[in-house]
Amino acid sequence: MGETLAGNVIYRNVYEFVQDLLGEEWSWVAYAAAGMAIILLVTNAVMLIGTLYTWFERRLLGRFQGRLGPNRAGPFGVLQPIADAIKLISKEDIIALGADRIVFTLAPVVMLAPTLLVLAVIPFGAGSWVADLNVAVLYIAAVSGISTIAVMMAGYASPNSFSLFGSMRAVAMLVSYEVPLVMALLGVTVLAQSMSLVSIVEAQALPFLLVTPLGALIFLAAVSAELNRAPFDVTEAESELVAGYMTEYSGMKYGVFMLAEFTNTVVAGAIFAVLFLQGWKWPILPSHVWFLLKVAGFVFVAIWVRATLPRYRLDQILAVAWKYLFPLSLINVLLLAAEVIVWPEPGAAELGIMSAINWAVTIPAAVLWSKVVSLRTAPPVAAAFSTEGR
């Protein structure tokens, strides 16, 4: 029996049931069956939350824009995602003439896979994680990189220029924002002196949001770009590119793309909660409830940003990544490394001092650098990815 999950009630019951059924020498079947039960539980729960999140986002956007949002299906329109799913399933499944059928069909699956793989390492509550990898932070960066390939597959397999343009834009953006994202993760790793998410949560005597505000800011910006969320949603800029790499998709294939996108936002919220908000910790309420509330807080901020900010141009997006976020993330890592050398085993008091220094650096650095970097001029890169005048 695996050590990490032996304490889990469902895991133990499935394991013992199968082992009683088949006997001692078939324990590996029990191991596999119990593991599958946990995987089924975690993926379905998270996808269900991802679906519910679509309702939350639409209602909240409605509120921000002074309208109602979906409110017909069920109480407060909560059953709207189910109605949407039924509609998507019953739609005709179209594969455009001239498409690479196999690659076209596989792209949504490849898009969803990294989202579900990341779930393996996330601690959802005290003692509730599938695996406590000692390279978990790196694992998240590695696995989420696979979605880039899915975007390329979708864009390339569709016989449509808008799809190809959308996917080229998306890849340029995803690859650029991976750098500040990984640097922000590196800052947290330096501070916690571990890449295991469980150790990172335990290292947070103070929430890292307070200790390393610059890292949290860079992570927020970079992760919104990785998620194709406003203000970085050029890949599906409706006014320019129809729907980007998803243009040719319909029915449930489109549904799976959407599911991946919404579940991604929830998973990103979970990663943010673990890295910067002490994960499942905080008093009084049960740990799982706190975790869900923190994820909901992240999601709320993400929707708020989407409702507030207009979309960047592609060249501006790349400029923000390379000229603004990347230098700031270097400052962040250097600062944290120096502080960890001075205080090798930071407790709450040392983290407090670090927090004071970091805030004193973050605010001037972020403000001054935003004055230095200009987004007004359009460099030649813009022409290569722009659809205007073609």
Partner 1 sequence: MAFDNLFSEIVFWALAVVTIGSAALVVHLRSIFRAALMLVVSFLGIAGIFAMVNAEFLAVVQVLVYGGGIAVLVIFAVMMTRDVDTGNRSTAVQPVALMMGIALLGALAYSIVQAEWALLPDSLPGPIATVFVETPTQLGRLLLSDYVLAFEVAGVLLLAAVIGALSLVRERHDA
Q: Closest separation between CB of residue 156 and partner 1, Å?
A: 6
Q: Give the closest residue to 132 by CA, choosing from 196, 188, 185, 189.
A: 196
Angle at which helix 101-118 crosses helix 136-144, to 10 degrees, equals: 160
- Contact partners, residue 152, CB within 8 Å, separation at least 6: 167, 171
Q: Closest separation between CB of residue 175 and partner 1, Å?
A: 6
> Which two tokens mark 176?
């650029």
Restricting to residues 148-167, name those near partner 1 by CB under 8 A. 148-149, 152-153, 156
Nearer to partner 1, 104 or 219 (CB): 104
Instruction: Please choose, out of 146-154, 204-212, 310-318, 354-362, the segment that lies near partner 1 by the rule CB under 8 A.
Output: 146-154
Question: CA-to-CA distance for 46 and 37, rounded, in angstroms?
Answer: 14
Question: What three-state secondary structure class fits 377?
Answer: coil
Element (H, E) at 78: none
Q: Closest separation between CB of residue 5 and partner 1, Å?
A: 15
Nearer to partner 1, 133 or 296 (CB): 133
Q: Phi and psi (nearest 5°) for 165?
A: -60, -45
Restricting to residues 330-389, name those near partner 1 by CB under 8 A. 380
Nearer to partner 1, 60 or 143 (CB): 143
Question: CA-to-CA distance for 307 and 299, rounded, in angstroms?
Answer: 12
Rg (CA), the chain: 22
Nearer to partner 1, 95 or 305 (CB): 95
Site string for partner 1, 23-52 (x = CB under 8 A): -----xx-xx--------------------
Restricting to residues 180-199, name those near partner 1 by CB under 8 A. 195
Contact (Cβ atoms closer than 8 angstroms) between residue 350 and residue 343: yes
Nearer to partner 1, 156 or 280 (CB): 156
Q: Closest separation between CB of residue 388 and partner 1, Å?
A: 19
Nearer to partner 1, 156 or 162 (CB): 156
Question: CA-to-CA distance for 97 and 8, rounded, in angstroms?
Answer: 50
Q: Closest separation between CB of residue 18 and partner 1, Å?
A: 13
Element (H, E) at 389: none
Q: How many residues bind partner 1 (CB under 8 A)?
A: 27
Q: Closest separation between CB of residue 120 and partner 1, Å?
A: 12
- Contact partners, residue 116, CB within 8 Å, separation at least 6: 43, 46, 263
Instruction: Please choose, out of 49-57, 143-151, 315-323, 364-372, the segment that lies near partner 1 by the rule CB under 8 A.
Output: 143-151
Contact (Cβ atoms closer than 8 angstroms) between residue 205 and residue 285: no
Instruction: Please choose, out of 171-179, 252-260, 276-284, 344-352, the segment that lies near partner 1 by the rule CB under 8 A.
Output: 171-179
Q: What single-letter DSSP state applies at residue 310?
A: P
Nearer to partner 1, 168 or 241 (CB): 168
Question: CA-to-CA distance for 81 and 68, rounded, in angstroms?
Answer: 16
Q: Give the closest residue to 227 by CA, choosing from 306, 126, 334, 308.
A: 306
| Cis peptide bond prior to 207, omega within 30° of 0 | no
Nearer to partner 1, 2 or 125 (CB): 2
Restricting to residues 97-116, name those near partner 1 by CB under 8 A. 100, 102-103
Q: Does 175 bind partner 1 (CB under 8 A)?
A: yes
Among 126, 146, 205, 378, the residue binding partner 1 under the rule CB under 8 A is: 146
Among 133, 243, 307, 375, the residue binding partner 1 under the rule CB under 8 A is: 133
Q: Give the closest residue to 192 by CA, choosing from 209, 208, 215.
A: 208
Question: CA-to-CA distance for 76 and 239, rounded, in angstroms?
Answer: 31
Contact (Cβ atoms closer than 8 angstroms) between residue 312 and residue 320: yes
Q: Does 327 bind partner 1 (CB under 8 A)?
A: no
Q: Closest separation between CB of residue 28 and partner 1, Å?
A: 4
Among 41, 83, 143, 252, the residue binding partner 1 under the rule CB under 8 A is: 143
Among 13, 44, 134, 370, the residue binding partner 1 under the rule CB under 8 A is: 134
Q: Report how far apart, in Å, the C-alpha atoms of 174 and of each of 120, 226, 236, 260 are.
A: 22, 6, 14, 16
Q: Which residues bind partner 1 (CB under 8 A)?
A: 28-29, 31-32, 100, 102-103, 133-135, 138-139, 141-143, 145-146, 148-149, 152-153, 156, 171, 175, 178, 195, 380
